[in-house]
Amino acid sequence: MGKKQLDTKIITAGRDKKWTQQLVNPPVSRASTVVFDSVAEMNHATANRANKTLFYGRRGTNTHFAFQDAMVALEGGVGCALYPCGTAAITNAILSFVKAGDHILMVDGVYEPTRDFCDKILDKMGVETTYYDPMIGEGIRDLIRPNTTVLFLESPCSITMEVQDVPTLARVAHEHDLVVMLDNTWASPIHFQPFEHGVDISIQAATKYIVGHSDVMLGTATANERCWDQLRESSYLMGQCTSPDDIYLAMRGLRTLGVRLKQHEQSSLKVAQWLAAREEVDHVRHPAMETCEGHAFFQRDFKGGNGLFSVVLNRGNTEALTAMLDGMEHFSMGYSWGGFESLILANENINALRTAKKKDFAGPMLRLHIGLEDVDDLIRDLEAGFERFNAVLNHQ
């Protein structure tokens, strides 16, 4: 798929007249009860309830069906399940494919709440988790046991940003009949095509770039033929459903995803290169830069980047970081990302989050999300931040 085709797809995806009723956008269709005039109509809806037919609100309305079509058109797979947040998409995808006594393989750089879910919920249910080094590649084979059922990837990883060799990991996993799941949030549905790289279920925290405006929580999981029925029906039984108002906003966000990501990427590269040249910086962990682990896989497999990356400093302490972050003009502190606004946070002990492989980082880490502000304003903000940072250090 060339650039032009992708941008066109973003505009047309999901805009079937069945759902839009000739409007440009699908109306917000709110429903619990769907009413039928005859036994035959009701039976027809019941027989087709899993296949985008109005049946009962929990199965979705035309607003949801349009968004599901759009996600499949962009990310791939045969179907897309919707969840009230990205975390629900992750936990439901895993729960749909494990039973007591199973074992799963989880990437060590995974989003922290996913790790907590494994340690606090799966463990209680008798499902064991082994964390693996994100860069393990073929070596994943040695960790697979007879009772291993799921291989979970997140690429790039949260905070530390390692890009994984997805095709290799998926190939080895499939030799052992595992289900391969990927948290594809960083790439969004357009910059990494999971199903072309061997993934069975691809998860999005739509909260981030799909919604893109920091005003909705939403999750999606697209699946291939092998996994779709089981994912959809298990999630349905666990009561997962979403508001059509939120879906409408996600659809609106989706239409500008292409142009937003181009701008986020361009600005983030400028900031990342500026940071790389700073004397306080040890190295930059931006998938599009060579200093990021797995950069070669990014080059090989991704169609583009975005605004989220990390930087490792070579000095610093709590007081200096606090002086830097407290005084920012354009960057706010916040745990999310993917909106139009710039964000920054500091992590002084990244190893506390890792168990498979501790890394020897030179100093604290900053995680930045570069928003759509003027990039030179952002650089000036960071420059002033480093002045406050150094003033504290020089004083100690």
Write the single-letter amino acid at 103: H
Residue 117 engages ligand PLP in binding (rule: CB under 6 A): no
Say if residues 47 and 166 touch (Cβ distance below 8 Å): no
Residue 85 engages ligand PLP in binding (rule: CB under 6 A): yes
Number of residues forming the site for ligand PLP (CB under 6 A): 14
Say if residues 140 and 272 touch (Cβ distance below 8 Å): no
Residue 188 engages ligand PLP in binding (rule: CB under 6 A): no
Could you give the count of Cα atoms lying within 13 Å of 93 in the half-sphere of its Cβ?
Answer: 36
Q: Quote the CA–CA distance of 310 and 370 in Å, as a whole number.
A: 11
Shortest Å distance, C-beta 83 to ligand PLP? 8
Residue 82 engages ligand PLP in binding (rule: CB under 6 A): no
- Which two three-digit tokens encode residue 168? 């290799």
Say if residues 149 and 129 touch (Cβ distance below 8 Å): no
Residue 208 catalytic? yes
Residue 207 engages ligand PLP in binding (rule: CB under 6 A): yes
Residue 52 catalytic? no
Q: Quote the CA–CA distance of 106 and 131 in Å, as a whole number.
A: 5
> Per-residue x/- mask for ligand PLP, residues 151 to 170, rule CB under 6 A?
---x---x------------
**What Rg do the C-alpha atoms of the chain give, in angstroms?**
22
Which of residues 63 and 204 has its CB atom nearest to ligand PLP in the complex? Answer: 204
Binding ligand PLP (rule: CB under 6 A), the pick from 205, 227, 324, 325 is 205
Catalytic hit among 59, 115, 208, 285: 208
Which of residues 211 and 324 has its CB atom nearest to ligand PLP in the complex? Answer: 211
> Per-residue x/- mask for ligand PLP, residues 309 to 348, rule CB under 6 A?
---------------------------x------------
Shortest Å distance, C-beta 336 to ligand PLP? 6
Residue 111 engages ligand PLP in binding (rule: CB under 6 A): yes
Binding ligand PLP (rule: CB under 6 A), the pick from 96, 148, 185, 267 is 185
Could you give the count of Cα atoms lying within 13 Å of 187 in the half-sphere of its Cβ?
Answer: 27
- Which two three-digit tokens encode residue 228? 């779709």
Residue 240 engages ligand PLP in binding (rule: CB under 6 A): no
Q: Quote the CA–CA distance of 79 and 27 in Å, as a whole number.
A: 21
Binding ligand PLP (rule: CB under 6 A), the pick from 86, 294, 305, 371 is 86
> Phi and psi for 95 in degrees, rounded to 5?
-60, -30
Burial 156-171, CB ≥16 within 10 A → b, else e? bbbbbbbbbbbebbbe
Residue 58 catalytic? yes
- Which two three-digit tokens encode residue 56? 């009962």
Q: H or E segment at 368?
A: strand 365-369
Residue 87 engages ligand PLP in binding (rule: CB under 6 A): yes
Distances in whole angstroms, Cα of residue 307 to Cα of each of 156, 236, 329: 13, 34, 18
**DSSP 3-state of 92:** helix
Catalytic hit among 83, 111, 132, 248: 111
Which of residues 27 and 113 has its CB atom nearest to ligand PLP in the complex? Answer: 113
> Per-residue x/- mask for ligand PLP, residues 3 to 32, rule CB under 6 A?
------------------------------
Which residues contact ligand PLP (rule: CB under 6 A)?
A: 85-87, 111, 154, 158, 183, 185, 205, 207-208, 217, 219, 336
Which residues are catalytically annotated? 58, 111, 183, 208
